[in-house]
Chain A
Amino acid sequence: MGYRLSKHDFSELLHKLQEDNKVYGPTCKEKKGTFSANDLVVYDQVADLNDLELTTKTKFSPKEIIFPIRQTMFYFTEDQQQIPQVDEESIIIFLRPCDRNAVKRLDEIFLENGPEEDIYYQRLRDKVKFFVLECTTGFDSCFCVTMDSNRVEPEEYTAFLRFEEDELECEVTDPDLEHLIQELGSEIEFNPQFKEEDETEVNLPPKEEITNDLFEHQLWTDYTRRCIACGRCNTACPTCSCFTVKDIVYEENSNCGERQRMWAGCHIDGFTEMAGGHNFRDEYGDRMRYKTMHKIYDFNERFGFDMCVGCGRCDDICPEYISFSNCINKLNQIIEEGE
């Protein structure tokens, strides 16, 4: 059912929801950007509707809320292993359709791939309610329509929100939330709108024409020269889910410590390094090839849909101005021209 209510009332509702929920959304940290007088737009907890930054794309995705950058798996003391507890509150995340679709990719890896679910991911993921922000224009580097991640289905969100001047319109799928909103707003006819056209033109190569011959192409050598293997594209990506497990011991008492996992990235040195020092992708261009194929081909071969959601964050963040959408286009061009 759809409702219209004032922003003021919605803000009040948000305060109320915070009694049982941690609420996250895109926020703007004034003058906290990399350069002087630059703002930093990132996901963080929001206390008030005014905290939401709705006009700029976040530098990083909301994935860190359910897949933290660094996460303790066990505390250990001699023979004892203890699993850390998580907060009791549920989690509300305000996010755009591309990022909601990105969570679907994370679900596939953490909950579906392999013999068992990843309980660390699952116990946070189970707490999440998604408040999807309507996004019909996107930003200049996005290509979600091409990646088929511009839309979300009602079962994928608790609320779908359209912000207007002083009011907002929404669709609510959760009966408890609906009960609260009914008291504040008026019923309306509401149909979620989605982005229908990408500003950035991206031509996905046909899957059946992607062959191993492409792995040897000059295209990747060019990236060997340009990429500096900083891994920012991996960290900014809402679907990159790789991690490394590492033990630390406390300085005060080396009998006690933690087993932690932290984000890992296929562009970063050491990603494939085995005991003894053998690496499988020394060349940075090979890492670009590996990531590109994973995002638009390999994942699809295994799970039936592309991994990349076309948010364009990797393009925005690369210090070498490498554009992933350009890379996809070049690959498509190479195939079309039959080089």
Chain B
Amino acid sequence: MAVNVEDNPYRAQSAEIIDIKQETDVEYTFRLAANMDLNCGQFLEVSIPGFGEAPISVSDFGTDWLELTIRRVGDLTDKIHELGIGDKLYLRGPYGNGFSLEEFKHRNLIIAAGGTGLAPVRSVINYFYDHPTEVNDFELLMGFKDPDSLLFERDIDRWKEKLEVLITVDQTCGVWGECVGLITEHIPKVNLSDVENTEVIVVGPPLMMKHTIKEFKKLNVPDDKIWVSYERKMHCGLGKCGHCKIEDNYVCVDGPVYNYAEIKDLKD
């Protein structure tokens, strides 16, 4: 029986850029016209023919659009940053499991995000911002390198109206109205009076995640109440290329979202 090559999971579909928002000097959020069945925290393989393909988290989505927040760090992302409204990006996916919002409903939710780690949880935050009665207590901690690295400032201003939000920067200069210091230094401030009914999401660079989880552990948060999203090199998103494997886990299909209890002993 012949294989139908048209039914090819590696084939990307084009999507038009309908809006672009500058976040920082090197990060822009691209809104694309696309109708995909998405979960919060899933990712896409994004490409431009001739410049390659890369896994990028969906940083928010609606019924006929999705957003990708992209840092300029290589050939592909440099090229993406040259694009304007009306240009096209190529997408395939969505891949990975994403966050199961049911796990967080009617519980206390704490999200600790470092830098671009905010992208995969932005849609989770927006969901509970839009549905405040579905969560008991919601605290958001965000750590950035410096005031110029802040992402989603327009969202943050909005979130502050309804949610408990703490922003900290590792270092600062000049006038800065929020906290200074690593995110780990501010974790003791969160409300963990009802640990049994609290779920914690930690996303960010590997070192930030490691130390942030350690701080939550010090405050007696059990492993199975901690959720993480892992970033790894990926070339397929389909469990084939092997780059993202950690022990017997393929982050692209089994993750990127994990309950910490399941993967805390895994070693890259």
Interface residues of A (CB under 8 A from B): 73-74, 76, 79, 81, 83, 109-110, 113-120, 122-123, 126, 212, 215, 241-249, 254-255, 257, 259, 261, 264, 266, 271-276, 278, 280-281, 290, 293-294, 298-299, 301-302
Which range contains the number of B residues in contact with the other chain?
35 or more
Is B253 in contact with A247, judged by CB distance below 8 angstroms? no
User: B3 touching A114 by the CB < 8 A rule?
Assistant: no
Chain B residues within CB distance 8 Å of chain A = 1-12, 14, 47, 49-54, 71, 73-74, 77, 88, 205-206, 231-233, 235-236, 238-243, 245, 247-248, 250, 252-253, 265, 267-268
* B211 CB, nearest partner CB in chain A, Å: 16
Let me know if A257 and B50 touch, CB within 8 A.
yes
Complex-state Cα separation, A74 to B90, whole angstroms:
13
Partner of A212, one of B206, B232, B233, B267: B267
CA distance A296 to B88 in the complex (A): 45
Q: In the complex, are the beta carbons of A115 and B253 less than 8 A apart?
A: yes
Specify which chain A residues have a CB less than 8 angstroms from the CB of B253 in the assembled complex.
Answer: 113-115
Chain A min CB distance to B124 (Å): 22
**CB distance B247 to A301 under 8 Å?**
yes
Q: Smallest distance from the beta carbon of A210 to chain B beta carbons, Å?
A: 10
A-B contact pairs, 13 of them (CB 8 A): A83-B11, A115-B9, A115-B239, A116-B9, A120-B10, A212-B267, A243-B236, A243-B242, A245-B52, A264-B242, A280-B232, A294-B245, A301-B248
Contact present for B233 and A272 (CB under 8 Å):
yes
Q: What A residues does B51 contact at CB under 8 A?
A: 247
Q: Which chain B residue shows the least CB distance to A79?
A: B14
Q: How far is the CA of A254 from the CA of B242 in the complex (A)?
A: 30
Q: Known contacts being A119-B8, A299-B248, is A114 close to B240, with CB within 8 Å?
A: yes
CA distance A247 to B54 in the complex (A): 11
> A247 and B250 in contact (CB under 8 A), knowing A126-B3, A275-B74?
no
**Contact flag A298-B1 (CB < 8 Å), given A247-B53, A271-B233, A274-B232:** no
Contacts of B73 in A (CB 8 A): 275-276
Known contacts A212-B265, A257-B50: does B235 contact A116 (CB below 8 Å)? no
Q: How far is the CA of A276 from the CA of B72 in the complex (A)?
A: 9
Query: Could you list 17 further interchain pairs (A-B, Cβ under 8 angstroms) beyond the known A123-B5, A301-B248?
Result: A79-B88, A110-B240, A114-B239, A115-B239, A118-B9, A119-B3, A119-B5, A119-B10, A212-B265, A242-B242, A243-B240, A247-B49, A254-B50, A257-B49, A272-B233, A274-B232, A276-B73
Contacting residues, chain B, for A281 (C-beta < 8 A) = 268
Question: Bound state CA distance, A280 and B205, in angstroms?
Answer: 12
Contact of B206 among A278, A293, A301 (CB under 8 A): A278
Residues of B within 8 A of A249 (CB): 50
Pick from B3, B49, B252: contact of A76, CB below 8 A. B49
Of chain A, the residue at the smallest CB distance from B53 is: A245
B253: min CB distance to chain A, Å: 5
Chain B residues within an 8 Å CB radius of A301:
247-248
Number of A-B pairs, beta carbon distance below 8 Å: 132
What chain B residues lie within 8 Å of A244 (beta carbons)? 235, 241, 243
The smallest beta-carbon distance between A115 and chain B, in angstroms, is 7
User: Which has the most chain B C-beta neighbours within 10 Å: A245, A254, A276?
Assistant: A245
**Cβ B239 vs Cβ A272 within 8 A:** no
Tell me whether B241 and A245 are in contact (CB under 8 A): yes
Q: How far apart sit A249 and B76, CA to CA, in the bound complex (Å)?
A: 13
Closest Cβ of chain B to A20, distance in Å, is 15
Most chain B Cβ neighbours within 10 Å, of A212, A271, A280: A280
Whether the pair A246, B52 counts as a contact (CB closer than 8 A) is: yes
Identify which of B231, B245, B265 gathers the most chain A CB atoms within 10 Å of its CB. Answer: B245
Contact A109 B240 (CB under 8 A): yes
Residues of A within 8 A of B243 (CB): 242, 244, 264, 271-272
CB distance from B259 to the nearest CB of A (A): 18
Complex Cα gap A90–B127 (Å)? 53
Q: CA A264 – CA B236 in complex, angstroms? A: 13
Enumerate chain B residues within 8 angstroms of A273, measured Cβ to Cβ.
Answer: 233
**CA of A272 to CA of B6, assembled, Å:** 31
Residues of A within 8 A of B8 (CB): 83, 119
Contacts of A73 in B (CB 8 A): 10
Instruction: With both chains docked as a complex, state the minimum distance between the C-beta of B131 and any C-beta of chain A, in angstroms.
Output: 29
Cα–Cα distance between A245 and B242 once the two chains are bound (Å)? 12
Chain B residues with CB under 8 A of A302: 248
Nearest-Cβ distance from residue B262 to partner chain A, whole angstroms = 13
**CB neighbours of B232 from chain A (8 A):** 272, 274, 280
Q: How far is the CA of A128 from the CA of B173 in the complex (A)?
A: 66
Cβ distance B76 to chain A, nearest Cβ, rounded Å: 9
Q: In the complex the two chains form, what is the Cα distance from A36 to B238 in whole Å? A: 44
Residue of B nearest to A241 (CB): B242
Residues of A within 8 A of B5 (CB): 83, 119, 123
| Chain A residues with CB below 8 A from B49, complex form | 74, 76, 81, 247, 257, 259
- Residues of B within 8 Å of A109, CB to CB, are 239-240, 242
Residues of B within 8 A of A293 (CB): 247
Do B54 and A116 touch across chains, with their CB atoms under 8 A apart? Answer: no
Instruction: Kindly list chain A residues whose C-beta atoms are within 8 Å of the C-beta of B242.
Output: 109, 241-243, 264, 266
Bound Cα distance from A298 to B53, whole angstroms: 28
- A113 in contact with B240 (CB, 8 Å): yes
Q: A114-B253, A259-B53 are in contact. Are A274 and B245 (CB under 8 A)?
A: no
CB closest chain-B residue, reference A84: B5
Q: In the bound complex, how far is the Cα of B8 from the Cα of A122, in angstroms?
A: 11
How many Å lie between the Cα of A271 and that of B73 in the bound state? 17
Cβ-defined contact, A74 with B52, below 8 A: no
